[in-house]
Structure 1
Amino acid sequence: MSESPRVPPDPWHHLREHTAARIALGRSGAGLPTDELLRFGLAHAQARDAVHLALDVAALTARLRPLNLTTHAVRSAATDRASYLLRPDLGRRLHPDDAARLRDLSRPEGCDLLIVIGDGLSAQAIERQAPPLLEAVLSQAPPDWSLGPLVIATQARVALGDEVGAALGARLVAMLIGERPGLSSPDSLGIYLTWAPQAGRHDAQRNCISNVRPEGLPPSAAATRLWWLCREARQLRLTGVELKDRSDQPLLSQRSRD
């Protein structure tokens, strides 16, 4: 009886130890092996669940209480998750009641930086990454910067931070938001920084720090990058395509700031 031909080992298999990317999947006939199909189905289900999972604002507020931040919860104009997903424009606008409430809370002096937490497309990212990131941001805050209250927004898109920042008189707004889930990263958080926030700002006027999570950009490194961008934004009075992120390059010379 002739022996069955041996299947040679996949030369890429050892690389799977170093990445979550879907590589070296192998094949069974013309398709994928059953175990890889099952893993793909699980990853797809996790990404889908991350999009639909609601943010528990009360639980998040309780976790952030040790940071001693004044916290306000707001909603976008999207009344539920279905309208949020089908009408992105509603997620970019504040609910009228919350817009009026924030204007009543504003102070004449405003603040240098306002942090807004938005559920975005992954509440799971906010629940996992926002607390350690906020702790790192506060621990690295320059002493001459004033911070506004923390605002937690539900059914939120990135541009919602512009209206929130304008209502509270912020010179800079940093929107911490759940990013669109990937098959290997359903809990990735993004930071969007905007100078002089106001309704009508567009994405070219923001700087983005993405993939904030332990497997990507750790909270401490993300906070360092955010403060570098904040300082540069205040000096140049702008954010976006004209503000290049060189935070990972060594300084050639020490220059005065502010």
Structure 2
Amino acid sequence: MNELKKSGLESDDWESLKAYTNARIALGKTGVSIPIGESLRFKMAHAHAKDAVYSHLNVADLQTNLAGTGLPVHYVRSQADNRDTYLQRPDLGRLLDESSAEKLTQLNSQPADVGLIIADGLSASAVNTYAPIVVPLLVQAMGEAGFSLAPIVLVEQGRVAITDAIGGILRPKLAIMLIGERPGLSSFDSMGAYLTYAPEPGLTDERRNCLSNIREQGLPPVMAVNKLMWLIQSAFRLQLTGVALKDNDDTSSDSLAIG
């Protein structure tokens, strides 16, 4: 406390809670302002968030890293042909461009239980970091559970609902999209997972389940795969996803058995 007084800083009663969260709490103050250090950290966090929004999907590295799953990996694009259009026209990010739709149609892929889709969303950097970790674990767990898998689809400039356009072509019983989430000032590298049973054009978001904040400082990859497997098995048991699929999972965080 004496050191704080000497520096002109006032302590905050929430200071002890900073050990449990990266949220911007207990910033302290000096006079009527926050300390200069916290002001600079805010500006840095804002810069990280902006960089994440404009980051690019590292398609080549993802294809290389995901090849170890044994599944084909196909790259497609939405109808948003650049980042500014993607941000200004969410509707175009929900639709496949013509050549991508034709590419998937020509695969003549047999319908599978599960189709994995990976999109940049609003933080490609989150996907570049965590998809290569989560996907192999999830593919292994689904294979061991007896689920058949469609080819993996990488989408650039994609929104969540492009799942339905892809699902309408590849026809998996369940689609799982991994996508970069909207960056926050304490979480610019967060990936989300969306599950859609019987995906087809025209669905709305109450038909999906979302697992959010997949990252080391949030929901770590192994815990995320545990939760996803519970949701996948529940979706097939009930033959649905969305508001009717309640998350009543009480399994432990270390329940996943990896090879």
Q: Partner of 1:131 in structure 2?
A: 132
* Correspondences of 1:45-124 after superposition (within 5 Å): 45-107=47-109, 109-124=110-125
Partner SS state of residue 243, structure 2: coil
Supply the AA of the counterpart residue of 1:130. Answer: A
Residues 146 and 12 of structure 1, relative CA distance in 2, 3 Å threshold:
same
CA distance change for structure 1 residues 7 and 113 in 2, over 3 Å: closer, same or farther? closer
Give the secondary structure class of the aligned counterpart of 1:140: helix
What is the DSSP-based 3-state SS (H/G/I as helix, E as strand, rest coil) of the residue aligned with 2:159? Answer: coil
What's the CA shift for 1:249?
5.6
TM-score with structure 2 setting the length: 0.90
Tell me how far 1:4 sits from its aligned partner. 8.3
Provide the rounded CA distance (Å) in 2 between the counterparts of 1:63 and 1:16. 35
Alignment correspondent of 2:42:
40
Change (3 A) 1:4 1:203: closer
Corresponding residue for 2:13? 11
Query: CA 1:26 to 1:207, structure 2 compared with 1: closer, same or farther past 3 Å?
Result: same
CA gap 1:31/1:65 in 2 versus in 1, 3 angstroms: same
Aligned-partner SS, 1:151: strand
Shift of 1:158: 0.1
Whole-angstrom distance in 2 between the partners of 1:33 and 1:24: 11
How many residue pairs are counted as aligned between the two chains?
Answer: 247
Deviations 1:15-65 (A, max 9, x none): 222210111111122111111100000000000110011112112212222
Contact kept, 8 Å, 1:106 with 1:167, in 2: the verdict is no
Which structure has the larger Rg?
1
Give the fraction of aligned pairs with identical amino acids, expressed as a percent. 46
Q: What TM-score, normalized to structure 1?
A: 0.90
From the superposition, tell whether residues 8 and 234 of structure 1 become closer, same or farther in structure 2 (CA, over 3 Å).
closer
Query: Cα distance 1:14–1:126, how it changes in 2: closer, same or farther (>3 A)?
Result: same
Cα distance in 1 for partners of 2:237, 2:152 equals: 24
2:9–2:29 CA contact under 8 A, matched in 1: no
Matching of residue 211 in structure 1 with residue 200 in structure 2: no
Aligned mates of 2:52, 2:7 — CA distance in 1: 44
Compared with structure 1, are the counterparts of its residues 156 and 6 closer, same or farther at alpha carbon in structure 2 (3 Å cutoff)?
Answer: closer
Deviates more, 1:24-33 or 1:198-207: 24-33
Q: CA separation of 1:232/1:17 partners in 2, compared to 1, >3 Å: closer, same or farther?
A: closer
Evaluate the alpha carbon distance shift between residue 112 and residue 7 of structure 1 in structure 2; reply closer, same or farther with a 3 A threshold: closer
Alpha-carbon shift at residue 144 of structure 1 (Å): 2.2
Whether the 8 Å CA contact 2:10–2:28 is kept in 1: the answer is: no
Q: Which moved more, 1:62-71 or 1:213-222?
A: 62-71
What's the Cα RMSD here?
1.9
- The equivalent of 1:162 in structure 2 is 164
How has the CA–CA distance of structure 1 residues 10 and 151 changed in structure 2, closer, same or farther, with 3 Å as cutoff? Answer: same
Partner of 1:253: none
Contact 1:13 1:24 in 2 (8 A): yes
Given the superposition, is the C-alpha separation of residues 200 and 14 from structure 1 closer, same or farther in structure 2, using an over 3 Å criterion?
same
Q: How big is each residue's C-alpha offset from its partner over 1:128-173, in whole Å with a ceiling of 9 and x where there is no partner?
A: 1111111220221144210001100000000011111221121110
Instruction: Find the aligned partners of 2:87 and 2:108 in 1 and give their Cα distance.
Output: 30
- Structure 1 156/8 Cα, relative in aligned 2: closer, same or farther at 3 Å? closer
Give unpaired runs (5+ residues) of structure 2: 253-259
Taking a change above 3 Å as real, the CA distance of residues 169 and 13 of structure 1, as seen in their structure-2 partners, is same
Q: Secondary structure at the match of 1:166?
A: helix
1: CA distance between counterparts of 2:247 and 2:234?
9
Bigger drift between 19-28 and 173-182 goes to 19-28
Deviates more, 1:70-79 or 1:9-18: 9-18
